[in-house]
Amino acid sequence: MADANYTSTEIMTIEAARRLKNGTVCFVGIGMPSAAANLARLTHAPEVVLIYESGTIGAKPRVLPLSIGDGELAEYADTVVSVPEIFRYWLQGGRVDVGFLGAAQVDRFGNINTTVVGNDYAKPKVRLPGAGGAPEIASNAKETWIIIKQSKRTFVPKLDFLTSVGHLDGGDSRARSGARGAGPTAVITDLGVLAPDPVSRELTLVAIHPGITVEQAVASTGWDLKVAATLARTAPPTASELETLRDLHARTAKAHGTLAME
Amino acid sequence: MTSKIMPLAEAVGRFVKDGHTIAMEGFTHLIPFAAGHEVIRQARRELTLVRMTPDIIYDQLIGMGCAKSLVFSWGGNPGVGSIHRFRDAIENGWPRPLAIQEHSHADMAGRYQAGASGLPFSVLRGYVGSDLPKHNPNIRSITCPFTGERLAATPAINPDVTVIHAQKADREGNVLIIGIVGVQKEAVLAAKAAIVTVEEIVDRLEAPMNSCVLPHWVLAAVCEVPYGAHPSYAHGYYGRDNAFCKAWDPISRDRDTFLAWMKEHVLGTKDHAGFLKSAGITPIGRDAIHG
């Protein structure tokens, strides 16, 4: 993508934003999900309802929040409720259309690890932040989307720890587990988009971004990546999408001082 | 009636004891930093620390050796990255091993609700497919007696002391919390004793109807500590100090740098005003964030 006038993170964020329909109720994770969800709100989906686990419902931040509980989220929300209420009435109550999550690792069934790197939980190689709201978002939203940069480090054959459920062991195992909702319906990466096979539930490459090859996606996956028979090509960012995203990041950097969002 | 309003050092001295289970809550907003520093100054040890989102203040308590165990659901420095004292304790056992009991947010919130409700356990539709129950014996399951559905069950949290920060209290000690209220009401009502630090004590609370008010008679102590939530924020008073949160990363990465910083600015000062002055901190006004 050497000749492209946008970055791989920008196309990932823009492609994720495009999928969010106007009026959708989206439970948003901090970081990349939040950037994509707010880009959608500022472009084609002004009536998207953004919920953050800090209890802000209908959040309309003018700049991207740095933490999940920034005052910016509360200030421009339709309402602010307690943390027990957001998880009980609004999430477990079945009112969330899309749970939008980031991850440290995903496996071929879209299960997520955000807990530890290394196979000994008691003595991890790297201690990650942990579950946060994700286990219940992943098992109660009507569907979940995952946004993550794709590499052999992040797309692993076996998770070091299963924090939040995807399609579990594939097939109908998720449905039998008691999890609600359809599970991960899209994994949006800096290389393309993956979706679960209708029967096996294994993540399959269904689209690649401009300038990316199938070989690159395969080489950046820790398992033998399945590729759809008809592979879509992501449309490049429009001038308007890029400008809106860059303005948002510029406003954010100004408001938060030197801290970057990435 | 004895007044609940007292200096923070007195409140910590009277209510927080070695070996206690202590919850400090505030969901990235109104984090009781000044109270955490006072617990460090008074050198409490063998604490079980409870908090949904252990961040810088728990990093400091853990790094100073106050905690033997931690009950939590997400540990990090929001927008910055890892908390290094927490990681060093878990990965390397420094300055002492830290036992952890790890949950999800929904579950922690439910555990506090059960505690506040006088119920023995909380139930939730959670942890489906997750490895967390394999590593936390407190996450069990229960069969619904009406539908037969299997649900997660975890014990109530009833801290010895819950500590929170709020915007204001009146002279009787009634407390008003504005903005993101997190799990503070539940954590206070679940506790045997609750300490609240506030930005200011006023003649009249002027709380809007249905707002989050904690009556003085459910609290043990109310302490006036301006900027007591710094570097987190107090909605309507001051913004989050993102520069401090970023600066914390290199300070906390190295054990000696961390200890030197804590000795100079926390152990070397007698109260929060002294800490702010020593560390050269000027809290950021509301306009800087919301203007």
Could you report the per-residue pLDDT of A189-200, keeping only the tens digit for each? 999 999 999 999
Residue B284 placed within a domain: no
Q: Mean pLDDT, to the nearest integer, of A7-31?
A: 97
Q: pLDDT band at residue A117, thresholds of 50, 70 and 90?
A: very high
Q: How many CB contacts within 8 angstroms connect chain A with chain B?
A: 189
What pLDDT score does A256 carry?
A: 84
With CB atoms and an 8 Å threshold, state whether A87 touches B91.
Answer: no
**Is B59 within 8 Å of chain A by CB?**
no
Residue position matching structure tokens 């609750």 = B194
- The answer to whether residue A66 neighbours chain B at the CB level (below 8 Å) is yes
Same domain flag for B190 and B167: yes
Q: Per the residue annotation, which of A10, A15, A53, A72 is the catalytic one?
A: A53
Retrieve residue B274's tokens.
């002294």
Nearest to B132 among A87, A131, A133 (CB): A131
Same domain, B126 and B216: no
Assigned domain for B39 exists: yes
Q: Which of A71, A91, A163 lies at the smallest CB-CB distance from B179?
A: A71
**Pairwise CA distance, residues B122 & B88, whole Å:** 32
- Structure tokens belonging to residue A205: 């490459």
Token pair for A209: 């971004």
Domain count of the fold of chain B:
2
Gap from A94 CA to chain B (nearest CA, Å):
11
d(CA B276, CA A155) in angstroms, rounded, equals 45
| Residues B43, B139 within the same domain | no
Both tokens assigned to B126: 């959670």
Residue B67: inside a domain: yes
Q: Give every CB contact of residue A252 below 8 A, 6+ residues apart in sequence.
A: A63, A64, A261
> CB A71 to CB B185 under 8 A?
no
Nearest to A92 among B53, B124, B149 (CB): B124
Strand order in the sheet with A143-147: A79-80, A56-57, A49-52, A25-28, A98-101, A143-147, A184-188, A192-196, A203-208, A226-233
Chain A 171-210, residues with CB within 8 Å of chain B CB atoms: 174, 177-180
A63 contacts chain B (CB < 8 A): no
Query: Which neighbouring-strand residues pair with B72?
Result: B102
Residues of A in contact with B235 (CB under 8 A): 71, 74-75
A198-224 b/e (C-beta count within 10 Å ≥ 16 → b):
eeebbbbbbbbbebbeeebbeebbbee
* Average pLDDT for A44-60: 98
CATH of A8-255, one of 2.20.25.90, 3.40.50.720, 3.40.1080.10, 3.40.50.1370: 3.40.1080.10
B170 in Cβ contact with B205 (< 8 Å) = yes
* B51 SS3 class: coil
Task: Kindly report the nearest CA distance between residue A112 and chain B, in angstroms.
Answer: 9
Question: Do residues B93 and B221 share a domain?
Answer: yes
Length of chain B: 291
Q: Where are the alpha helices (DSSP H) in chain A?
A: 8-18, 32-42, 71-75, 83-85, 134-140, 173-177, 214-219, 239-255
pLDDT band at residue A259 under the 50/70/90 scheme: very low
CATH of the domain at B69: 3.40.1080.10
B131 and B274 both lie in a single domain: no
**B130/B225 same-domain check:** no
The DSSP call for residue B29 is B
Domain boundary among B155, B171, B200: B155
Q: Is A53 a catalytic residue?
A: yes
ipTM for the complex shown: 0.95
Please tell me which of the candidates A91, A162, A261 has its beta carbon nearest to residue B106. Answer: A91
| Chain B from 202 to 261: CB within 8 A of any A CB | 212, 233, 235, 239-240, 242-243, 245-246
Same-domain status, B275 and B135: no
Query: Which residues from chain B sit within 8 angstroms of residue A261, using beta carbons?
Result: 79
Rg (CA), chain B: 19
pLDDT tens column, A157-177: 999 999 999 999 999 999 999
> In this complex, do A133 and B235 lie within 8 Å of one another by their Cβ atoms?
no
Do B203 and B261 share a domain, yes or no?
yes
For residue B95, CA distances in Å to B61, B64, B98, B164, B259 come to 11, 7, 9, 26, 11
Examine the domain organization and report whether B131 and B162 are in the same domain: no
Domain span at residue B144? 122-155
Q: Are residue B141 and residue B162 in the same domain, yes or no? A: no
Mean pLDDT of chain A: 95
> What's the CA gap between B140 and B123, in Å, rounded?
10
Same domain, B162 and B250: yes
- Each domain of chain A, given as residue ranges in start order, spans 8-255
CA of B61, closest CA in chain A: separation in Å? 17
- The neighbour count for residue B263, using CB atoms within 10 Å, is 11
Res B284: pLDDT = 73
* Of B17, B126, B20, the residue nearest B73 (C-alpha): B126
Q: Are B129 and B67 part of one and the same domain? A: no
In a domain, B289, yes or no: no
Asked whether A137 and B125 are in contact (CB, 8 A), the reply is: no
Residue A82 and residue A53 in contact, taking contact as beta carbons nearer than 8 Å:
no
Task: Tell me the three state secondary structure of residue B141.
Answer: strand
B39-46 long-range contacts, CB within 8 A, separation 24+: B39/B12, B39/B66, B40/B64, B40/B66, B40/B262, B40/B266, B40/B267, B41/B9, B41/B266, B41/B267, B41/B270, B42/B9, B42/B12, B42/B13, B42/B16, B44/B12, B44/B16, B44/B17, B44/B18, B44/B20, B45/B18, B45/B19, B46/B18, B46/B19
Residue A234 has phi, psi (to 5 degrees) of -60, 135
pLDDT of residue B288: 44
Residues of chain B with pLDDT under 70: 1, 285-291
* B101 class by beta-carbon count within 10 Å (0-12 exposed, 13-18 middle, 19+ buried): middle
Whether B107 is covered by a domain: the verdict is no
